[in-house]
Amino acid sequence: DAKTTQPPSMDCAEGRAANLPCNHSTISGNEYVYWYRQIHSQGPQYIIHGLKNNETNEMASLIITEDRKSSTLILPHATLRDTAVYYCIVRTGANNLFFGTGTRLTVIP
Amino acid sequence: NAGVTQTPKFQVLKTGQSMTLQCAQDMNHEYMSWYRQDPGMGLRLIHYSVGAGITDQGEVPNGYNVSRSTTEDFPLRLLSAAPSQTSVYFCASSYQEGWNTEAFFGQGTRLTVV
């Protein structure tokens, strides 16, 4: 599986967009980019995933570069409830997910 | 639709005791898995199952057994608990192996072995 690199922590002002980067330079053609988050010590929560094209759902947007070597998760209007650890995972499917240490996002009032 | 349900939520064991962590899903998912999470770390895969009657080892399987007699249930057994197994355990399920779909996680079982 391709490895991912994320910054250990980020801050974001409440109401502003949170942009969380992820590098995955060794990603292969059939691997998807998944994003999950873990709020406090709850079970991880799926956010979004994509292969090549940018994706958007009710929670977030996923921007994948044309060479697929990096991506950015965008939370358009961060709230205090978005404070969590965000994991970027590269996989062929939803199974056997490898969770690194992720990015701890703190939304500041 | 309850999703993935784990029981118990909290458990304290003495070293050497055995117990079973329960996991059930009502989404008719073929794929189920168990992870453990130690403080400050990401989740690590213990065991997984691609369907009833089929199980396999993950990254950290030692000290744990699993079975999958039904699609719905995937219990995790600790045969002789050790302090090193103090952790938070998460069960997950997804539709089918290899499909580009999301995994659903339970709320976790917090286990302390003294």
Span B28-84, pLDDT tens digits: 999 999 999 998 888 999 999 999 999 999 999 999 999 999 999 999 999 999 999
Average of per-residue pLDDT across A49-58: 93
C-alpha B51/C-alpha B34 separation (Å) is: 14
Structural contact between residues A7 and A28, judged by C-beta atoms closer than 8 angstroms: no
Nearby residues of A67 by Cβ (< 8 Å), 6 or more positions away: none
CB-CB under 8 Å, B45 with A46:
no
User: A66-99: string of b/e by CB count within 10 Å (b at 16+)?
Assistant: eebebbbbbbeebeeebbbbbbbbbbebbbbbbb
What six digits make up the tokens of B77? Answer: 């057994």
3-class DSSP state for residue A40? coil
C-alpha A72/C-alpha A54 separation (Å) is: 10
Q: Which amino acid is at A9?
A: S
A40, A64, A89, A95: best mutation site toward chain B, by most B Cβ within 10 Å? A95
Looking at residue B95, what is its pLDDT? 87
Residues of A engaging B, defined by a Cβ cutoff of 8 Å: 32, 34, 36, 41-46, 49, 51, 87, 92-102
Averaged pLDDT of chain A:
93
pLDDT above 90: residue A92 = no
B38 touches chain A (CB under 8 A): no
pLDDT above 90: residue B88 = yes
